[in-house]
Amino acid sequence: MVATVLCVGQAVQDFVFTLPTLPQAARKYPASHFESVGGGPAATAAAAIAQLGGRALLAARVGSDTVANSGATAWIVAPCDACPAASRRYRQS
């Protein structure tokens, strides 16, 4: 029997910048790549649990800012949708 884990918290948009090397000093570094992905502690945990074979439920609140209102809410929680063992419920504030 697989246990079900309820993940309660945030689902957010993460901005990921890739650097060619680790910073060695306190100065500006140009990013070699940029990616915008869905994230947040609860959403990331739910996606990871499901990808590892567990069953996860996500209960999250998402914002009502420009990103969320542009239709990104579904995209932000998409990592959970990609896992068949994860289901989600969110509320836009």
pLDDT one-digit tens code per residue, 14-54: 889 999 999 999 999 999 999 888 778 888 888 888 888 88
pTM of the model: 0.64
In a domain, 43, yes or no: yes
Total domains, the chain: 1
| Separation between Cα atoms, residue 44 and residue 34, nearest integer Å | 19
pLDDT one-digit tens code per residue, 43-73: 888 888 888 888 888 887 777 777 666 666 6
* Structural tokens at position 76: 């932000």
Instruction: Using alpha carbons, list the distances in angstroms from residue 42 to 18, 24, 29, 77, 84.
Output: 23, 32, 30, 10, 17
In a domain, 25, yes or no: no
Identity of the residue numbered 3: A
In a domain, 21, yes or no: no
Identity of the residue numbered 43: A
DSSP letter at 85 equals T
CATH number at residue 55: 3.40.1190.30
